[in-house]
Structure 1
Amino acid sequence: SPLKRWAFIGKLYPFEYVLKEEVVNTTDLRRYIVDMIFEENPLLYVAKSDCDEDRSVQIATILEDACEKEIEQPNGVKVEQPWFARDRYGETVLHKAIQKRREKVALHFLSLKKVELLLAAGDPFLFLAIEHKCHGVAQKILDLVDQHSLKTLPSSNTRRTVLQDGGTLLTSNTGRTVLHDAPKCKGDFVKQVVKRYPELLKQTDDDGVRACSFEHLANYNCC
């Protein structure tokens, strides 16, 4: 659709023209476009675009503002915000942005209201950010885990709730903890993880390997 195409190639003007009230004040047109946003979720295409990230953030902001205004209306749509919605693969806009290593875009999505609800769903966003070398995103997610006390996430997997400390955000389904992968991040990320979650030092993955058995952690006096 035109919305997906504009979002993917970074066409800012069409969104400004049809969605900003100070530019066009045609209620029916705006409502039609907003309905399409909820139905088609062009934010997914913003997230995985190859265009300039600053422009993508501008487009995302316009789309999000339009959706928020619609939701706030007395007779507005009562559906999930597009930035929380999942595609047929079960992925959100945050998944797509991290996978494409679009760090500015991912950080933008992490700044949205109630983003903790997305993190609390238990997706391994922290591992994903480390894997794709989005160090700033990994840092932001770690901060949000603390800020919103995401320490007792529900899980049907007993092994993943043993620590009751960050739940599936800090432990993968193989028992591997974020501390196993933390040395891949820049700066003092390892020290932060050890300081905030020392329990992770004792946990082993499914192969019986503890993070503190890795030589690179010896430099932090973790063992």
Structure 2
Amino acid sequence: MGTLPASVRLALWATAVWNGLAPANTLLDRAFPDIDDVAGDLDRLELWPQIGERVLLCALPHPGHAQAMPKGGTELLADALDAGECVYVPMFGGAIVPEIERYGPASDQGWRARLRAFDCAPTPIHRIEMLTDSAIERRLQAAIAAATSELTQIDLVPWQRSSERDRAAAELSGSFGLPAGMPGRLARTIWSAATVSEAAEAALEHDPIVGAAAHERRQSTLRDLMVGADQVLADATNLAAVVLAGLVPAR
């Protein structure tokens, strides 16, 4: 699987549905277009808007970088770190971790998602409301520039390698669209951040460097870039969600 993280799609499409911007019966198909079977605690997606939640937010945590996670128990944190993602509602509190895996025999495999719900504390969203699309985009550009400067000293820059760049771009295109009404700059930043994260992850798996010092330098730079791109991706997604919900005006 190489599309946007499930939590990014789920946050945007659930918010669109909850605010009348998309039909309710399209939510799972639009949020999980590449998943064959979606099960688990689906009832939360109906309950939360009924009790007044208008926006679904996402977090994309990494070990040592989970500051944006909602405050919950250790099991929520462990599952979200293992999955690399979660969604949560800010007003009353509550989170879902999508656990995605292959299933079926080797000759006929598919993908399934099981949604696991967790309790968590309400989360003030003033930090998200203060974000701007231009500032989020600049953070991504700065992260790319810093990583490029570091990597050009030791290796080819992964997103300048046609194979890795084209693979990431191809995997993030196609029928996996975003809701209508998305601010254009945020939509572009979401796709760009996801592509950079994919390219950095692919480069981590393909390391041509022999020397130990250069290897560790390259791996550290790529990990930092992947974390930074995912933080940008989550912030862009969450700002887009609060705009879709009408909680802040499009800027």
TM > 0.5 between the two? no
Q: Which of the two has higher C-alpha Rg?
A: 1
Normalised to the residue count of structure 1, the TM-score between the two structures is 0.23
User: Higher helix proportion, which one?
Assistant: 1
**TM-score where L is the length of structure 2:** 0.21
